[in-house]
Amino acid sequence: VATCTPDYFFPNTACQVQEAIGAKHAVAFDLSAACSGFLFALSTVQAYIKGGIYQKALIIGAETMSKMIDWSDRSTCVLFGDGAGAVVLKAEEGGKYAQVTQSIGKKGGALTLRSRNQIQYETDPKAKETYIQMNGKEVFTFAVSKVPEAVKNLLSREKVPCEDIRYYLLHQANERIIRSAARRIGEDISKFPMNMDEYGNTSSASLLILLDEVKKSGKLQRGDKLVLAGFGGGLTYGASLIEY
């Protein structure tokens, strides 16, 4: 489970899912990379499968961002939403998967959320650092530069031209970021589906919800190439190339 808003530190959310679905022989763990969580989980599972360690995996991205929001802070409370999505991956011959992931820890202060310890709570139950704090300008600058860079590097490395990509599914945080990324990648905005007007920024669930909606729209055909890309707290970012 990719999440930055777990209900428990332990047992982790994945172990609770394991119990709920009766997956007795599974190994279960959470992964925290904020809004990049699903992409990081996807690359982790791919490494397990490629290494022959596991043959099948369930990846969940789930967030309750509403409990981490300071509802008096209009710069953040109108942006985020709650959501969840999941995919099942299995080892199979053929197909296409490649990824680029990266972290920039020295810029982590641009987007923060501190844990709520008892001392903090007793001193100030509404301490602002225990809610999402964001330097919007810095996050915007980071996203519009690093996401297109990751996508271009990925496609160049895999020798896949932009015109071969059916859709670019970007983390649903901000329409201006997506439009700017489209320009920098050099692709028409029609290839960048968006749904943040419906759900807000659902962090690690964002790409899964969007992928599900695009699939259900009937616009995908077997063999279509998709790029999934995202960015989040850490700071973290990445891109994945998959074949539908």
Spell 79-117 as b/e; 16+ CB within 10 A means b.
bbbbbbbebebeeeeeeebbbbbbeeeeeeebbebeeee
* Residues annotated as catalytic (active site), given as ranges: 35, 171, 201
Give residue 179's identity as a one-letter amino acid code.
R
Beta strands in the chain (DSSP E): 56-64, 82-90, 97-103, 111-112, 133-134, 165-170, 225-232, 236-243
Give the CA distances from residue 160 to residues 39, 150, 153, in Å, rounded to whole numbers and listed in that order: 20, 14, 10
Tokens of 241: 């190339």
Angle at 108 between CA 206 and CA 65, to 5 degrees: 35
Cα gap 211→208, rounded to integer Å: 5
CB atoms within 10 A of CB 22: 7
Cα gap 124→162, rounded to integer Å: 51
* 190 phi and psi angles, rounded to 5 deg: -65, -20
